[in-house]
Amino acid sequence: MALKKTRVVVALSGGVDSSVAAYLLAKKGYDVVGVFMKNWHDESVTVSKECPWLEDSYDAMIVSEKLSIPFQTVDLSVDYQKRIVDYMFEEYEKGNTPNPDILCNREIKFDVFLKIALKLGADFIATGHYCRIKKTKKNDKDVFRLLQGLDENKDQSYFLHRLSQYQLEHLMFPLADLPKPEVRAYSKERGLPIVSRGDSQDLCFIEEGRLAHFVEQRKFDLYQHPIFLL
């Protein structure tokens, strides 16, 4: 009887990093499933048009086809609205400055998404983050440490520093030991999409420098919080 392969659900965004992460896992023989997270589709806010999730999900599907792995899309927009966007505005009204990236990782990618992946039979989930996990022992128990990625210019461990031991136990970061130029080379060699979009910052669906515009469209009074305008 053949041994059951370790199943890894990869959070495919349609971009280079997650695509190469899926490729590397498939190459190593894991049972890989690609899943696209639909986090935002509020057409009342025009910034959403600058994050074309349909095109991104199509790119993610194309990657899955190239790698011959199953693919599906999950709609997490309700949880994202409540746990990230609503919470963020509540904090701004209190005069606080929350970090949406950290919140998104802890509350959406590695909580809501992790639970969905486990229901799909996953042993692990994987993303295209540039950081490492090291398993050690303490008092005969496994302890998981989050470490800096090899590429110091792309290290993302800070954005994951609030993850729990349970979350870290179920994570894989295939790009941990790779520099970004090598990841792009992998993508080009394997015919995977090389997307020239800006890196996501602040909110997962808003490019760098656009958060203030998003808040303005949500009719939030920026002038009461001048620190946010910096």
User: β-pairing, 131-138 with 141-148?
Assistant: antiparallel
The whole-number average pLDDT for the span 110-116 is: 94
Q: Which entry of 20, 104, 108, 114 is annotated as an active-site residue?
A: 104
Distance CA 150, CA 75 (A): 32
Q: How confident is the model over 35-80, as pLDDT tens digits?
A: 999 886 555 444 444 456 678 888 999 999 999 999 999 999 888 8
Q: Please report whether residue 158 resides in a domain.
A: yes
Q: How confident is the model over 84-109, as pLDDT tens digits?
A: 888 888 887 888 888 878 888 888 99
CB atoms within 10 A of CB 210: 17
Q: Please report whether residue 69 resides in a domain.
A: yes
- Residues 5, 10, 15, 17, CA torsion sign: negative
Q: Catalytic residue at 204?
A: yes
pLDDT value at residue 212: 55
Q: Please report whether residue 2 resides in a domain.
A: no
Q: Catalytic residue at 131?
A: no
Instruction: Indicate the Cα dihedral angle 175, 207, 170, 159, nearest 10°.
Output: 90
State which residues form the domain around 140.
7-229
Tell which phi-psi region holds residue 95, choosing left (phi > 0), alpha (psi between -120 and 50) or beta: left
Total domains present in the chain? 1
Predicted model pTM: 0.80
φ, ψ (nearest 5 deg) of residue 9: -95, 120
- For the stretch 66-81, what's the b/e string if a residue is b when 16 or more beta carbons lie within 10 angstroms of its beta carbon? bbebebbbbebbeebe
- CATH number of the domain encompassing residue 143: 3.40.50.620
Q: How confident is the model over 169-212, as pLDDT tens digits?
A: 999 999 999 999 999 998 988 888 655 454 544 445 445 445 55
Q: Which entry of 204, 206, 214, 215 is annotated as an active-site residue?
A: 204
